[in-house]
Amino acid sequence: MSRLVLLDRDGTINVEKCYLSSPEQVELLPGAAEGIRRLTQAGLIVVVVTNQSAIGRQFLRMETLEQIHARMRELLMALGAILHAVYGCPHRPDECCECRKPAPALARRAAEEFGADLSRSFVVGDKACDIGLGKCVGAKTILVRTGYGAALENEGTVQPDWVTDDLPGAAELIRLALADETVNSP
């Protein structure tokens, strides 16, 4: 079975802007494309799982969200990085849906679509809901210190499997984990 790397969007791939509202505002974090490129070169399927309550709050239209994702993918592709898919939850937190992280619906959808085993996959993000998603589906979790990650680490309220500075650091941790598995497999 395939393996996924489920990435958060805001604060992990692009600069956190509190309700990113237009494609022109998309600004990649330093090293984000490099990290994604390294993950795909390792044979992993890289997808984005993002909570986008701005839709449910009517701050943003679905069409604009799709344009934002297209712009993010365009910027990444220009740097040789490819995302296999982007999954977004448009609901407000009070709607109690099954797709808003840390709920597992979007991760399970990605696993089904790509024939992946979530228990052998990785979740990378800067928020408690990202780490919660990983724990919920049995994936390894990586907290990045970009976005809200450094503050979250200092609070000590979440227990990820690993913590690193950024997406290239996460890619390296994943590479080491995969190498360790290869060395230790029968």
User: Is the preceding omega at residue 102 within 30 degrees of 0, hence cis?
Assistant: yes
Query: Coil, strand, or helix at residue 96?
Result: coil
d(CA 3, CA 111) in angstroms, rounded, equals 8
- 3-state helix, strand, coil split of the chain in percent (to 5) is 45, 20, 35
32-41 and 62-78 are packed helices; what angle lies between their axes, rounded to 10 degrees? Answer: 80
Say which of 10, 126, 130, 166 is annotated catalytic. 10
Contacts with 107 (C-beta within 8 Å, 6 or more apart), sequence order? 4, 6, 49, 118, 123, 133, 136, 137, 139
Say which of 8, 126, 130, 166 is annotated catalytic. 8
Active site annotation includes 180: no
Active site annotation includes 8: yes
d(CA 134, CA 125) in angstroms, rounded, equals 10
- Give catalytic residues, as residue numbers: 8, 10
